[in-house]
Amino acid sequence: MMTKQLHLNAFLMSTGHHEASWRLPESDPLASTDLAHFTNLAQIAERGKFDSLFLADGPVMHGNVGQRPAGVIEPLTLLTALAAVTKHIGLIATASTSYNSPYNLARRFSGLDHVSGGRAGWNVVTTAGVEAARNFGVDEQPLHAERYARAAEFIDVALKLWDSWEDDVVVGDKESGVWGDSTKVHPASHEGKYFSVAGALNSPRSPQAYPLIVQAGSSDDGKDLAARYAEAVFTAQQTLDEAQAFYSDLKARTRRIGRDPDTIKILPGIVPIIGDTEDQAREKEAALEDRIVHEYAQRNLATMLRVPIEQLDLDSQLPFDLLPEEKIEDFKSRYSLIVELGRREKLTVRQLIGRLGGGRGHLTFAGTAEQVADTIELWFTNGAADGFNIMPAVLPSGLELFVEQVVPILRSRRLFRSEYTGRTLREHYGLTRPVNQYLEEYEERVAI
């Protein structure tokens, strides 16, 4: 009998997730805007039978271009190109609800789903930070709760638009001259606090109906949004206990609002650094840490923690008494994770920078392929994860090693697929195609 199956997502980021990965001899500093580079990564992940690949994004230039490759290709554009060179793997793009309009974004994701044959996914973000706000003529970022309220209404409008065509609108009767049944097209007719959208989408319902909805916020507002809408959740957890608590909490929130908890898949991030031996893996990790430019990392940490940089002595612990924990309005969950990591392990600022350099707070694990597989299995079988967001420290080599060495072990343990069995991204994640909200069948389900 087949056991419950892991879900694996490949989180792709230029030369890798470690901030110093671009400095390795093997790395191409121009990789972040090279289609051939991403084509290679997508095909490696598909060869490993990953459920999906994922591109992060934000409408702002993050950090200092001196630190690491900063240029990116807008993800929906890049994923449309990758749809043409892959056949099975899901294609998940980050897009903001704070700095987009529902009609345009719904249309673009519908287009990706059509072009890819049903492989689109949307990572819903609310976009924190005043720098992003000012790129759109807004002096200050909206408050945390308001961003999430806007996000909820944005998703509701997008769902109306994706459902605005019933599946059998097209008649195609050449003899009578009737192409479509206009009674089966439904204008959004939405008037809300944040959005006013009158018409129907100008595109038929896509192969998946709408993209897989992904969410990554771990604050209370983020978890409530995920419980209501998300079908996959990317999260950052440092320990098994923390991951189990998050998993249990989010599944309970999902159950309380009447959803089946199995319809939301929780995927913590892991940054695997793989060696033939544990010592070799540690050497790889040390080689990356040695290439961190502490001047940049120290400044970024000071900005994240809202403390003057002169208060972050590299060889001292964080100044916990100066940290404004109750006043944080952006990156709340990541802020808390970093502070708790420093406090729990009594790390110096230098050590904390080293720990964050690989995955910005995600679990970093250096070891053999067997040890990486053991960790994945431990979390998966002990109520901490439905799968993992694989974040190689170095690309493409880290992804290649994971596919060539870790995936076969997971298959031998009957934890991961050997072949794709579905056609769409929803099928990869074991989810059904949504029923159109304008149909009687939908109304009956909601009533139940």
pLDDT at res. 139: 83
pLDDT at res. 197: 98
pLDDT at res. 328: 52
pLDDT at res. 67: 64
pLDDT at res. 1: 42
pLDDT at res. 357: 65
pLDDT at res. 332: 61
Counting as low any pLDDT under 70, the low residues of the chain are: 1-2, 62-64, 66-69, 322, 325-334, 357-361, 440-448
pLDDT at res. 301: 77
Beta carbons within 8 Å of 427's beta carbon, 6+ residues apart: 421
**Cα three-residue angle 395-398-399, rounded to 5 degrees:** 85
**Amino acid letter at 154?**
F
pLDDT at res. 448: 47
**Alpha-carbon dihedral sign for residues 95, 100, 102, 106:** negative
Tell me the CA distances in angstroms from 11 to 15, 53, 91, 149, 297, one per residue in order.
Answer: 12, 6, 11, 27, 22
Q: What is the number of helices (H) and of strands (E) in the chain?
A: 16, 13
pLDDT at res. 325: 62
**Reduced to 3 DSSP states, what percent helix, strand and coil does the chain have, rounded to the nearest 5?**
45, 15, 40
First to last CA, the chain: 32
Q: Is CATH 3.40.50.1980 the classification given to domain 7-273+363-447?
A: no
- Token pair 């998946």 in the structure block, residue: 208
Can you point out the beta strands (E) in 170-231? Answer: 170-173, 178-180, 190-191, 196-197, 212-215
Tell me the CA distances in angstroms from 310 to 299, 314, 346, 348, one per residue in order.
Answer: 9, 10, 19, 14
**Alpha-carbon dihedral sign for residues 288, 292, 297, 301:** positive
In whole angstroms, how large is the CA radius of gyration of the chain? Answer: 22
Residues 157 and 192: beta-carbon distance below 8 Å: yes
Beta carbons within 8 Å of 34's beta carbon, 6+ residues apart: 28
Residues 334 and 309: beta-carbon distance below 8 Å: no
In 3D, which of 65, 75, 63, 98 has the Cα closest to residue 11? 75
* In the chain, where the domains are located: 7-273+363-447
Taking the C-alpha atoms of residue 220 and residue 13, their distance in angstroms, rounded to an integer, is 27
